[in-house]
Structure 1
Amino acid sequence: MELIASGPGTAEAIRERARGALLGLAVGDALGAPAENLKPSEIRRRWGRIEGFVHDDPAGTDDTEYAIFSGLLLARHGSALTVTHVEHAWHHWIADRDEGPFRGAGFSERGTLENLRRGLAAPISAQHRHAWSDGLAMRAAPFGVFAAGAPREAARLVAIDGCVSHEGEGIYGGQAVAAGVAAAMAGAGLASVIAAALSVIPMDSWTARSLRRAVAVADQGERAVRSAVVIGGYPWTDLAPEAVALAFGAFATARGDFTASVLTAVNMGRDADTTAAVAGALAGAYGGAASIPTAWSTRIGPVRGSCLPEMRGHHVLDIADLLTPDPEEGA
């Protein structure tokens, strides 16, 4: 298992970054949810520039609930995770139960559920019209948390999770996020986090090309990042190459600062809950839980099960603790 820099550090440091990653994901998801599918001009007309929660009762979306789903699965099986484990979890926790109000979340999740309920198994279950979506990227951070300092292991594990629901660019997007978080968990610098993400996906993939374009213009600000990667005129905003590139572009534009990373992602619109969730996971792992403003972090409670009823009551901080060593045990 390869390590970034000198390794992930002490159990206490790992726990701090893990909490930052998953709490950052949940904060980004809740901040971005109102701006999902909007253009920057529409965001400006409604709120000016989003600088915080725009509702009195902010809540995350399927992004946080699916990340908890994958985190629980990973906590149970660790590095021994198999496709069979993932398929069983999809059936046990989602497909074989009544659906929540969001009917299984995004298009890729809906297509997967339809296939699983028809008796199809991976990788055939991922053969639907949205296998390239950002549905794996949105739930990839727990794999980077678990494989702190080991981007390739994070990428290997998230691909096992993803093969039930995604293929091609959808898998690459998840791998880039997981690897980037794994590097940040070990205290890697900004350039090394981006390099780790690129190192686990094909150089000529759409995801890699978009990610490189986004970070190349990051110093020019969010408008340049958005122009570099957004597929103008395409009706769906959940393209993994686009969403992942926007998230890394926001992270690079902000130089890893948590507040700026998340708000940059939110104000670029498109699939804003996912791009802000990914940017929040990267920046939260990079800076630790202390880098997240308490005015935001304290508003995050247990998820409501709006999309996945079986996840109701779980908190992202509990998942972070499940995926990392207990600092008390090493004391």
Structure 2
Amino acid sequence: MLQLNYETYLNKVHGGWIGKCIGGAVGGLQENNKSLMDYTMDNIFPKVIPPNDDLDLQVLYLQEVLEKKGSRITTEDIGAAFATFNLCMANEYSVAIKNIELGIQPPYSGSFNNHFFRHSMGCPIRSEIWGFICPGHPDVAVQYAYKDGIIDHEQESVYGEQFFAALEAQSFLEHDIHQLIHFGLKYVPEDTELSRCIYFVLDHYSRQIDWRVTRQNMTKRFGSADASYSVINLGITILALLYGESDFTNTMLIAVNCGYDTDCTAATAGAILGVIYGANSIPEFWLQKIGEEMVIGTVDIKRYSDKIIDLAKDTCTAGLSLARDGVIEVQFTDLPADAKPSLPLPIPVEQVELAVSYQGLPSIGYGETSSVSITVTNHADEEFAGQLSIAPAAALLSSVKEIEVRILPKSEFILSVDFEVKADIESLPQRNINFVKLVKDGAGVTTAITEKSFGLSGAARMKVIGPFWDNYDTTRYESDPYNGLRPDTLHAMFNGYVNLDKPYIDESFADLHELECELVNMHEDKISPDRFIHYAGPSCIYLVHEIICPEDRLNAELLIGNEGPYKVWVNGKLAMESRSAAMWMPYNDETFIDLKAGINTLVIKLLLIGKTSDFSYVCRNEGSKLHLFTDLESHIPAPVVVPAAVN
């Protein structure tokens, strides 16, 4: 069994949290600046230390998850705290919180509707708490990191959090940064961009290539317009640790001057050096600058103390709890009288456990079937007999309502259940919560055993009108220059034209309900027209979405992502337009709209030019604390009947 002196443990954890605070503070000055910079000791520290979600979320996990639930926490425990107390509604955080509010739990909360940010930095920055409570036990730290990472990410980002958590846990035993990096890489699959990037940096460092050249070459190979992309940012952290040569000041300067998500890269680098060498290794210049207290501001919690040393002590007593519970095998020596396990004792494992998994997307559309697998696991040494019942959401029907189950000891039962939207429904909510309940029979008495809920996100039901296109350039000619004859230019014959300002339908939308259209279900916010429009070439389509809002919502923020030109009308009023081409991301444009109680008609005019013309929109406002709306409903329009042709 590993033996670890408590004062050594505390000194390392204290150093790790100090380093985290320092790196977050200095990196906050130029967060998301992708340029190479030249900060020095004279100007790297901000005048006012800002709060940083990198630290705050980990303090949240310690206080609201570990200290209330104990050492044997689940990913649902972490996700619930994440969604309840997180005040930072940025990027993948807002997507994950929306999913959890829709009843979509991890790992689906990290992948569903999260196309752009699923490989971002939101979870690699949360690794320290897991490494610090698992000294010398990287395998356990990695398990915790996985439970956390899948809340709002998948793959590369989750591997990144596991990599750092393993490295930090091992830092209680190993001081050589090269050995620690290679050790952490054991937890990263080889066939990943993250693995390739870290080895790329290691190779450049071994060949004594200047760090600026290494950074340039790395951005060419692994860079992204997304300043939060995890692969390039983890590469920068490793670059700073290697080229910093274990010097805290040099490491901080390199991490920040490399740019990208600088508060993340510098904070993690600072935490790693702090835990390797301890609090007493951090130069006095940095200790004086950061002070003794941390700044909390992106989570809705109150601490009994904001002192960094108290956070370190609480972290260490959580580590003592893991040892008490047998989660890690560590004997802490020379314990002071006030160093005692702080976490509640573990709750016994349920004898019978329920789990739900989706067979496809965790969503459902009108006229479609969505399936889930319900797994009942019997952990007991005796047979289980009872009933399994499914109560679907009000808008849905389920293929199974109740079924008798008999499960042998240490066995499981798997049931596939299909769901569909009621045929006569007039609207489909975003939020559809279903319940699974398990009861046990015995001596004529029925006893409730366990219950689980899960959500199916209601797909938006939209009309697609078009495509439309032109054989000539309507921005140059008021009428057909070919007089309806065969075009005499190669471009007109082999390409085409489209014009954002040309009304291909009546853009007063007075006859919208009479136009021939196709009805489609949009399961996610990101709309990829090439899935339902197969016309090849420049064209225009109109998307019509009738949204039911439960109340008047004035000045709601409409966030738009686009690749090509578009116009958006809300209730007949032009709300936003763009003529630019861009890389799709969810927040390319924003505007403010008024939604009324009842049906609101949103019309999107899209120009389709390249291979894809992805588009997205979401709504939020201050009344929802900037949470993305989850209580809207999609009106189910009646199909348009096109009169048959008369001979």
Write out per-residue CA displacement over residues 281-325 of structure 1, whole angstroms, 9 at most, x where no aligned residue. 111111111122233234245454432232676444333212215
SS at match of 2:171: helix
Tell me if structure 2 keeps the 8 A contact 1:33–1:273: yes
1:136, distance to aligned residue in structure 2 (A): 0.8
- Code of the aligned partner of 1:243: N
Tell me if structure 2 keeps the 8 A contact 1:250–1:261: yes
- Code of the aligned partner of 1:178: A
SS at match of 2:85: helix
- Matches of 1:131 and 1:141, distance apart in 2: 20
Write out per-residue CA displacement over residues 35-78 of structure 1, whole angstroms, 9 at most, x where no aligned residue. 2122444x33xxx5355644322224221212322333345555
Tell me if structure 1 keeps the 8 A contact 2:201–2:214: yes
The residue aligned with 1:17 is 12
- Matches of 1:305 and 1:164, distance apart in 2: 22
- Matches of 1:158 and 1:307, distance apart in 2: 20
- Code of the aligned partner of 1:223: R
The residue aligned with 1:151 is 138
Matches within 5 A, 1:6-45: 7=2, 9-41=4-36, 43-44=37-38
The residue aligned with 2:309 is 317
1:206, distance to aligned residue in structure 2 (A): 1.2
Tell me if structure 2 keeps the 8 A contact 1:70–1:139: no
Say if 1:285 and 1:209 are closer, same or farther in 2 by CA, change over 3 A: same
The residue aligned with 1:56 is 47
The residue aligned with 2:97 is 113
- Code of the aligned partner of 1:33: G
Say if 1:111 and 1:300 are closer, same or farther in 2 by CA, change over 3 A: farther
The residue aligned with 2:374 is none
SS at match of 1:217: helix
Say if 1:167 and 1:8 are closer, same or farther in 2 by CA, change over 3 A: farther
Write out per-residue CA displacement over residues 83-117 of structure 1, whole angstroms, 9 at most, x where no aligned residue. 121122123323xxxx4xxx42x411121122222
Tell me if structure 2 keeps the 8 A contact 1:258–1:280: yes
Tell me if structure 2 keeps the 8 A contact 1:8–1:186: no
Query: Match for 2:269 among 269, 274, 279?
Result: 279
- Matches of 1:8 and 1:136, distance apart in 2: 30
Query: Match for 2:216 among 216, 227, 231?
Result: 227
Number of equivalences: 314
Q: Structure 1 unaligned segments of length 5 or more: list them.
A: none
1:176, distance to aligned residue in structure 2 (A): 0.8
Q: Structure 2 unaligned segments of length 5 or more: list them.
A: 321-334, 341-647
- Matches of 1:8 and 1:247, distance apart in 2: 30
- Matches of 1:59 and 1:300, distance apart in 2: 13
The residue aligned with 1:163 is 150
Tell me if structure 1 keeps the 8 A contact 2:51–2:298: no
Query: Match for 1:69 among 60, 64, 86?
Result: 60
Tell me if structure 2 keeps the 8 A contact 1:190–1:252: yes
SS at match of 1:241: helix
1:245, distance to aligned residue in structure 2 (A): 1.7
Query: Match for 1:132 among 97, 101, 119?
Result: 119
Say if 1:251 and 1:78 are closer, same or farther in 2 by CA, change over 3 A: farther
- Matches of 1:244 and 1:79, distance apart in 2: 28
- Code of the aligned partner of 2:54: D
SS at match of 1:9: strand
Write out per-residue CA displacement over residues 231-279 of structure 1, whole angstroms, 9 at most, x where no aligned residue. 5773211111111121122111122222222221011111110000111
Tell me if structure 1 keeps the 8 A contact 2:10–2:316: yes
Tell me if structure 2 keeps the 8 A contact 1:151–1:179: yes
The residue aligned with 1:206 is 193
1:183, distance to aligned residue in structure 2 (A): 1.4
Give the stretch that moved more between structures: 23-32 or 310-319: 310-319
Structure 1 residue runs of 4 or more that deviate by more than 6 Å after TM superposition: none
Tell me if structure 2 keeps the 8 A contact 1:27–1:300: no
1:173, distance to aligned residue in structure 2 (A): 0.7
The residue aligned with 2:286 is 296
Name which structure has the greater RCO, CA cutoff 8 Å, separation 6+: 1
Residue 172 (str. 1) matches residue 155 (str. 2)? no
The residue aligned with 2:169 is 182
Tell me if structure 2 keeps the 8 A contact 1:8–1:149: no
Tell me if structure 1 keeps the 8 A contact 2:156–2:193: yes
Tell me if structure 2 keeps the 8 A contact 1:225–1:246: no
Say if 1:20 and 1:304 are closer, same or farther in 2 by CA, change over 3 A: closer
Tell me if structure 2 keeps the 8 A contact 1:145–1:320: no
Tell me if structure 1 keeps the 8 A contact 2:14–2:312: yes
The residue aligned with 1:328 is 336
SS at match of 1:323: helix
Hey, which of these two has a bigger chunk of helix by percent?
1
Say if 1:273 and 1:159 are closer, same or farther in 2 by CA, change over 3 A: same
SS at match of 1:176: helix
Give the stretch that moved more between structures: 8-17 or 20-29: 8-17
- Code of the aligned partner of 1:195: H
SS at match of 2:297: coil
Give the stretch that moved more between structures: 76-85 or 15-24: 76-85
- Matches of 1:237 and 1:316, distance apart in 2: 29
- Code of the aligned partner of 2:315: L
1:160, distance to aligned residue in structure 2 (A): 0.7
The residue aligned with 2:204 is 217
Q: TM-score, normalised by structure 1?
A: 0.85
1:216, distance to aligned residue in structure 2 (A): 2.3
- Code of the aligned partner of 2:229: L
- Code of the aligned partner of 1:249: L
Please provide the CA RMSD for this pair. Answer: 2.6
Tell me if structure 2 keeps the 8 A contact 1:215–1:225: no
Tell me if structure 2 keeps the 8 A contact 1:18–1:320: yes
Give the stretch that moved more between structures: 247-256 or 164-173: 247-256
SS at match of 2:336: helix
Tell me if structure 2 keeps the 8 A contact 1:151–1:183: yes
Say if 1:54 and 1:217 are closer, same or farther in 2 by CA, change over 3 A: same
Tell me if structure 1 keeps the 8 A contact 2:33–2:227: no
